[in-house]
Amino acid sequence: MADLSRCSVPMSDQTQIISGKDVAAALRAKLAEAVEASGKAPGLAVILVGDDPASQVYVRNKITACEKTGIKSFEHKLPADSSRDDIAALINSLNKDDQVHGILLQLPLPDPLSAVQEELVQMITPEKDVDGLTIANAGKLILGLKDGLVPCTPQGSLLLIKEVCKDLTSKHAVVIGRSNLFGKPMGQLLLAENCTVTQCHSRTQDLPAVCRQADILIAAVGRAKMVKGDWIKPGAIIIDVGINRGEDGKLCGDVDFDEALGVAGAITPVPGGVGPMTIACLLGNTIRAASND
């Protein structure tokens, strides 16, 4: 059994389900109160290029959440055949717009724009980079500075972990994935909480054995049900960031949820786990950006 005695993980064969929906709802309520108290409506501009259905749904959910929280949303839809210069001109315009406090370029961009995706992201002024992907914000995270904007999904994942365990000092955290969007910033956030962090990827040898050492196991690889029950240390906290379609057509995560039940101390479901937290933390980043204006 993992040493989680300072946490609220049940020390039995009952696995605690961490509801991202509930935690996100409570966070959005606090953010709405903060916006009302400030008397200033933050503005979030979302740039959507192309007509990818998943991106359209995600953007729609973001805009709905903005409206409920008192944040002004500015949606900019561009055709899939837009040029790099078209998008760059829009970003530069939004950088100068005083009503816009946060800019989000919905990723991934359609081909062939994917080749210039990183270049376009870096054009966003760091103070409005609510995805936390610019070099300035990534550097501040690595240096442990507190005035940068942190990527939303790892930020939300950490909040879910702390719903179960407030003090993460000395915990061994294993992160499967090393992307700039999630894996790397997740590792930095865990280091800041005094965890011992192991960052795994496609070249990691004997991944199941590494995972079995984790008090906190975070999976973000995009492979349906890859993490099996016998990869999990009894009592561990599992954060499942994956969103996949299983063979039955249903949404599922990177962790085999059914096999994890009764082994893990706590686990996030898919859907209803990390996803709602990503949007809630995006709202939080926008409000923070507006407060720094």
Could you read off the pLDDT of 131-185 as tens digits, one per residue? 999 999 999 999 999 999 999 999 999 999 999 999 999 999 999 999 999 999 9
For the chain, give the number of residues.
Answer: 293
Superfamily of domain covering 151-275: NAD(P)-binding Rossmann-like Domain (3.40.50.720)
pLDDT tens for each residue of 20-55: 999 999 999 999 999 999 998 999 999 999 988 888
At residue 198, does pLDDT exceed 70? yes
The CATH superfamily holding the domain 40-125 is: Leucine Dehydrogenase, chain A, domain 1 (3.40.50.10860)
Mean pLDDT, residues 220-227 taken together: 96
Q: Is the pLDDT of residue 12 over 60?
A: no
* Strand blocks (E) in the chain: 16-17, 43-49, 72-78, 102-105, 172-176, 196-200, 216-219, 237-240, 244-245, 251-252, 266-267
Residues 270 and 253: beta-carbon distance below 8 Å: yes
131 catalytic per annotation:
yes
Is 213 considered catalytic here?
Answer: no
What pLDDT shows up at residue 1?
Answer: 47
Return the domain boundaries, the chain: 40-125, 151-275
Structure tokens at 236: 């561990």
Which pTM does this prediction carry?
0.93
Residue among 129, 131, 240, 254 flagged as catalytic: 131
14 labelled catalytic: no
Of 106, 155, 188, 240, which is the active-site residue?
A: 106
Tokens read off for 193: 């909480």
Check 13, 51, 52, 62 and give the catalytic one: 62
Q: Do domains 40-125 and 151-275 have the same CATH topology?
A: yes
